[in-house]
Structure 1
Amino acid sequence: MRHARRLTALGLGAALLAGVPAGAARNDAPTKPDAAAKSTQSKAELEALRGRIDALQKNLSAAEESRGEAADQLRESEKAVSEAQRSLYALAQQAKATQGELDGVAQRERAARGALAEQEALAGQLLRLQYFQGAPDRLRILLEGRDAAQVARHLEYLAYIQRARAGLISDLRKGAETLAGLQREAAERREQLAANQAEQAGVTRQLENERATRAVALKRIAGEVAKGKREIDRLKKDEARLTRLVEELARALAAKPAPPPAKGKGKTIDQVADASLSAKSFVTLKGRLKLPVRGELVSRFGAAREEGATWKGLFIRAETGEPVRAVADGQVVYSDWLRGFGNLLILDHGRRYMSLYAYNDGLLRQVGDTVKSGDTIANVGQSGGAGESGLYFELRHDGRAFDPLQWVAP
């Protein structure tokens, strides 16, 4: 596949990672009663290994500093695309929240207008009542020489009318103030929405510019790597680089083997991960998982690649921008650009299980974020030099890749 060949071309710096043998840190168990000699030998081997690791780190740093200008440009451009998409995602969430607040303000404003209309109607009724009753005053009632009980009733009635009128006037003023406050709040929310939309437009323009820059970088890299017969070696070292990263992450959390490969090609995927597996332990999900993206399964675990290596995961051909979803609950432990794999996101699912999502156009989550099964975590792309748009997906346990299809629901 062309995308696999172009992927290998970006593994120049990863070649240094193959310098540490897999069993360099393992000591043979002593078979003679010379424990002291074995201990001395083990210490010497450990010191030698530390020296090799130190030298390897220095060589790796030197290689990273001396890599090609085009590779640098690709990395920065694809990271910028991812950051712009993350910003757009955050702005969209903010706009949604602001619109919700604006809807709430509008609802409260309608309620305030209704209450104000009721108070105005009540005030009108009171005025009409006073008009028909003649609006007697205290002095007139006393001078008419009426019965004392009747005078008391009239005076009480007059006091009630005056209190009711004063209360209505106060309520009308408060209602008008409340309405004015709600109108000001609504205006502020509209201004926030307008500012949000303007910012989204700016980020969208930035995203378009970054994608154009990435296209230029990809074209330059394609020209730089067109010649050369070292693709098999580079691909293996890309895989070693990814394996090293996963093993280091696994050691920080904890470390076991993988099932045999599956065969097949070209299967259409239309059922993707959703919230149905949320809040479930990953170890209980074998045979129940759904794949992370809609598309066409074109490369399977263990299948031979054109370059001579084998696939360590699945390649799912999909449209650029298609949502990539978490296959299970987990925490983001890696979200960055990695040579050979582009914008890469890794989820830790606990019990030393991890899932990896590569070639993304944009990474929507950051290290430390907790996600649920079915949450959108990235957008499909062809970063890292992939020859076509799609998602590279792996499952790992103890840092070792195993066949995801053995865990996927039939």
Structure 2
Amino acid sequence: MTLFSCKPLSRSFNLFTVCSILLCCILLNFSQALAQQVSANEKAQQENKAKLSDVQKAIAKQESNIFNTNKARAKLEKQLKQDDLAIAKVARAIVEIEKKQKASTEQIKQLGKKKQKLTKQKQQQEQLLAKQLRSAYSTGQHDYLKLLLNQEQSEKVQRTVTYYQYLNKARIEEIDKFQATIAELLQITSQHQEQIEQLEQLKLEQNTQEQKLKSTKAKRSKTLASLGKKLLSSQQQLAKLKAEENNLNQALQKLTALIQAEISLTGLSKLKNKLSWPVKGRITNRFGTRKQGYLKWKGVMMSAPLGRQVHTIHNGTVLFSDWLKGYGLLTVVDHGNGYMSLYAHNQTLLKSVGDRVETGEPIALVGQSGGQSQSGLYFEIRHRGKAVNPKHWCK
């Protein structure tokens, strides 16, 4: 037993132990590092999820804001339409009252002249009757009965009686005329007074309507201000204008399909540089210039004060007379041979669908309907649905 030593075994055992310990340490460190990495990954994932959730919430909020804004704009645009139509109704009522006032004033003037003429006629008849009475008295007509009973000088008596009868007949005729004049004068005086009272009533009614118009305009201004707060991005504004333009085009296509050609409507082809502009005003936006993005003006925008008359450029038939989104109160006139003229943003419309209009006839009043902040007229000329430059027709 002494021939063998235990040292080599002990060294091997120690080396194995050290290796095992080192391996355990390495495994432990690896496990800890792996655990830390897993923890870090989980934390990163949680942070990313939280960020994604925040982004999704932000997107959802933005979509909700856009939806609410569009919903609010739609509501305000509907209110704006109602305000525009209310203003149009009151403005048209004022126009009708002014027409009645003008007619009443003219009638008062004519009745006044007739009254003056009848008064003068009455005075002349009074003088004539007085003259006849004096003549009858001076000739002794008060002895008429005595003369009839006188049997002497029959020829002289006959001549005198005939003369008296002539005077009586003339006097009776003048009295009848005088009575008729008095009756007509009383009637004219009564009518004159009625017209004066009616004119006063019309003035009161006009004042009421003007106050109502003022109130309605103030309401519209508030609606417009609220609408202005719901700002649209450039892309949204472009989409809005495009939709409004498509809406107009669709409406015109439907109207074109309904047009029945009239022999008397010859179109505008021979009237280049001969027509008058529909309203006196400065052109603020010209045909073909940039409107928004790639959209261009299909007509002209003319600056003019509220209430100024809008005249049709040529005779034709009214095809459309109503409120249209983006254009407000709009009138479209068919001139024949595929030619149309459009008048938009009016305060009120004076003609209805189917009405025949003549060149220069008032068809509307300048306004700012359809969401305009300034008063003016938007004017287009179209041929077979395609917009053409109005400057080539109007001088």
1:329 matched residue in structure 2: 315
Q: Which residue, 380, 383, 386 being the options, matches 2:369?
A: 383
1:147/1:398 CA distance change after superposition, 3 Å:
same
1:207 is matched with 213
Contact 1:82–1:364, Cα closer than 8 Å, also in 2: no
Match of 1:364 in 2: 350
Residue 190 of structure 1 corresponds to: 196
The partner residue of 1:245 within 220, 238, 251 is 251
More helix by share: 2
Structure-1 residue corresponding to 2:167: 161
> Partner of 2:100 in structure 1?
94
> 314-323 or 391-400, which moves further after superposition?
314-323
C-alpha distance in 2, partners of 1:335/1:298?
24
Matching residue of 1:146: 152
- 1:361 is paired with a residue whose SS is strand
Q: Which residue of 2 aligns with 1:290?
A: 276
Question: In the alignment, is residue 115 of structure 1 matched against residue 101 of structure 2?
Answer: no
Counterpart of 1:234 in structure 2 is 240
Given candidates 343, 354, 357, the residue that maps to 2:340 is 354
Aligned with 2:323: secondary structure?
Answer: strand
Deviations 1:184-226 (A, max 9, x none): 1111222221222222122211111111111011011111235
Report the CA distance between 1:67 and its aligned residue.
Answer: 7.1
C-alpha separation between the residues in 2 aligned to 1:178 and 1:133?
33
The higher relative CO (CA closer than 8 Å, separation ≥ 6) is in 1
Letter in 2 for 1:296: R
Distance in 1 separating the partners of 2:181 and 2:172:
14
Gap runs ≥5 in structure 2: 1-69
Q: Name the SS of the counterpart of 1:95 in structure 2.
A: helix
Contiguous gaps of at least 5 residues in structure 1: 1-63, 256-277
Is it true that 1:310 corresponds to 2:296 in the alignment? yes
Calculate the TM-score normalised by the size of structure 2: 0.76
Displacement after TM superposition at 1:127 (Å): 1.5
Shift of 1:382: 2.2
Q: Is the 8 A contact 1:82 1:362 kept in 2?
A: yes
Question: d(CA) in 1 for partners of 2:158 and 2:182?
Answer: 36
What SS class does the counterpart of residue 193 from structure 1 fall into? helix
Over 4 Å off, 4+ runs: 64-67, 142-145, 278-281
The answer as to whether partners of 1:318 and 1:391 remain within 8 angstroms in 2 is: yes
Is 1:393 aligned to 2:373, yes or no?
Answer: no
Q: Aligned partners of 1:318 and 1:151: how far apart in 2?
A: 87
Root mean square deviation of aligned Cα = 2.5
**1:114: how far off?**
1.9
Shift of 1:142: 4.6
Give the letter for the 1:311 counterpart. W
Distance across 2 between alignment mates of 1:144 and 1:383: 95
Q: Residue 66 of structure 1: CA displacement?
A: 9.8
Helix, strand or coil for the counterpart of 2:141?
coil
Residue type of the partner of 1:194? E
Change (3 A) 1:298 1:66: closer
Using structure 1 for the length normalisation, give the TM-score.
0.73
The change in CA–CA distance for 1:138 and 1:128 in structure 2 (over 3 A counts) is closer
Q: Confirm whether residue 221 of structure 1 aligns to residue 224 of structure 2.
A: no
- Segment drifting more, 330-339 vs 225-234: 225-234
